[in-house]
């Protein structure tokens, strides 16, 4: 006779994890969450006040930043990254995040590690002002090496249809305003790892700008939900600068007849990107990394000072002009 545990799957560990994460998950709940933790599905009542609500969904992962977390043995922030990558996409559709679900898959379930990860997810949900209403933990020996794991996140948001349909169009002369990133965020880590650890032989413990390199690389992705709520009525559009950088993400919000002129000298490039640019071509840098710009807002000229007053970390980096959709760096 053989048991499930002998095959590598520990059901008791999974049950223990559910009990240990309940305080973190319940801390994200609000009056719209239906039912307790542990059901077959999470329930969420639509908030009142919407005449014609529209739901938006977003899903994402964290990529090979997970490999750094595993190497560093640091798991308390990677869940924040997961939430950020999803909710930051939602707000670009002017959707307010409502709830979040996570998927955590590993070769062997380490309850302590999983607890840290999910606590980070819950912290990210609190920052994004959304509820963590469900998730799945999958223990799959043979699919992953014992310490390896993967994460996926799923977020749902809400918007008023009339507000979406009546948003002011983008026009030539509109200003591009940057909101700073907190670091590399969650894109480009395959290139980062290849350069820093394979080519340059650096270590996570190496000093970098008053911190360790590991701390800099694992700095969690900034969540822009509260900034969005503060600025929602003052902006025309938002672009989340993820994989593909400004070059590929900014055009996603532009009409065919407008292009973005970005003043390279205006971008407040973070030290980690300045270091990487010593070894990576400039074009490759701007097509891979956020370069210190996590979100770009499109703002009418007469609303610019209002936006800058509301967010003292925001700053202009360019404008929209007539032309074929795309980005030009000057």
Give the structural domain span for 23: 5-165
Q: Which of 128, 147, 165 is the last residue of a domain?
A: 165
State if pTM tops 0.85: yes
Overall number of domains in the chain: 2
Q: Is the dihedral angle over the CA atoms 205, 207, 213, 219 positive or is it negative?
A: positive
Nearest by Cα to 237 from 158, 301, 319, 298: 298
Each residue's pLDDT, cut to its tens digit, for the chain (330 residues) gives 765 565 566 666 767 877 777 888 888 888 988 877 777 888 998 999 999 999 999 999 999 999 999 999 999 999 999 999 999 999 999 999 999 999 999 988 888 999 999 999 999 999 999 999 998 888 888 888 878 899 999 999 999 999 999 999 999 999 999 999 999 999 999 999 999 999 999 999 999 999 999 999 999 999 999 999 999 999 999 999 999 999 999 999 999 999 999 999 999 999 999 999 999 999 999 999 999 999 999 999 999 999 999 999 999 999 999 999 999 999
Would 272 be classed as within a structural domain?
yes
Would 21 be classed as within a structural domain?
yes
Residues 146 and 183 in one domain: no
Phi first, then psi: what are they for 52, rounded to 5°?
-140, 75
Residues 84 and 111 in one domain: yes
Residues 160 and 272 in one domain: no
What does the block give as tokens for 123? 């912290």
Q: What is the C-alpha to C-alpha distance for residues 321 and 323, in angstroms, rounded to an integer?
A: 6
CATH at residue 143: 3.30.1330.10
Would 170 be classed as within a structural domain?
no
Would 26 be classed as within a structural domain?
yes
Q: What is the C-alpha to C-alpha distance for residues 39 and 26, in angstroms, rounded to an integer?
A: 14
């Amino acid at each position: 006779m053989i048991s499930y545990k002998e095959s590598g799957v520990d059901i008791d560990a999974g049950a223990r994890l559910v009990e240990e994460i309940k305080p973190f998950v319940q801390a994200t709940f609000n009056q719209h969450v239906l039912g307790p933790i542990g059901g077959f599905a999470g329930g969420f009542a639509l908030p009142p006040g919407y005449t014609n609500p529209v739901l938006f969904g977003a899903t994402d992962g964290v990529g090979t930043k997970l490999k750094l977390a595993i190497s560093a043995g640091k798991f308390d922030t990677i869940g924040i990254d997961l939430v950020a990558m999803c909710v930051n996409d939602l707000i670009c559709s002017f959707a307010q995040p409502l709830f979040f679900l996570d998927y955590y898959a590993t070769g062997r379930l380490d309850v302590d590690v999983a607890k840290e990860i999910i606590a980070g997810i819950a912290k990210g949900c609190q920052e994004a002002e959304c509820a963590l209403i469900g998730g799945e933990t999958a223990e799959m020996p043979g699919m992953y090496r014992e310490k390896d794991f993967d994460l996926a996140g799923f977020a749902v948001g809400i918007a008023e249809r009339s507000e979406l349909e009546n948003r002011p169009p983008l026009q030539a002369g509109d200003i591009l305003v940057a909101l700073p990133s907190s670091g590399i965020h969650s894109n480009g880590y395959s290139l980062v790892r290849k350069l820093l650890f394979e080519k340059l032989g650096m270590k996570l413990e190496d000093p970098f700008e008053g911190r360790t390199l590991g701390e800099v690389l694992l700095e969690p992705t900034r969540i822009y939900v509260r900034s969005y709520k503060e600025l929602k009525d003052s902006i025309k559009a938002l672009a989340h600068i993820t994989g593909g950088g400004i070059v590929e993400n900014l055009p996603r919000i532009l009409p065919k007849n407008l292009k973005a002129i970005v003043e390279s000298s205006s971008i407040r490039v973070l030290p980690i990107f300045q270091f990487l640019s010593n070894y990576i071509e400039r074009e490759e840098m701007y097509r891979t990394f956020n370069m210190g710009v996590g979100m770009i807002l499109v703002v009418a000229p007469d609303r610019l000072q209002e936006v800058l007053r509301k967010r003292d970390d925001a700053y202009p980096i360019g404008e929209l002009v007539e032309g074929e959709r795309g980005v030009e760096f000057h």
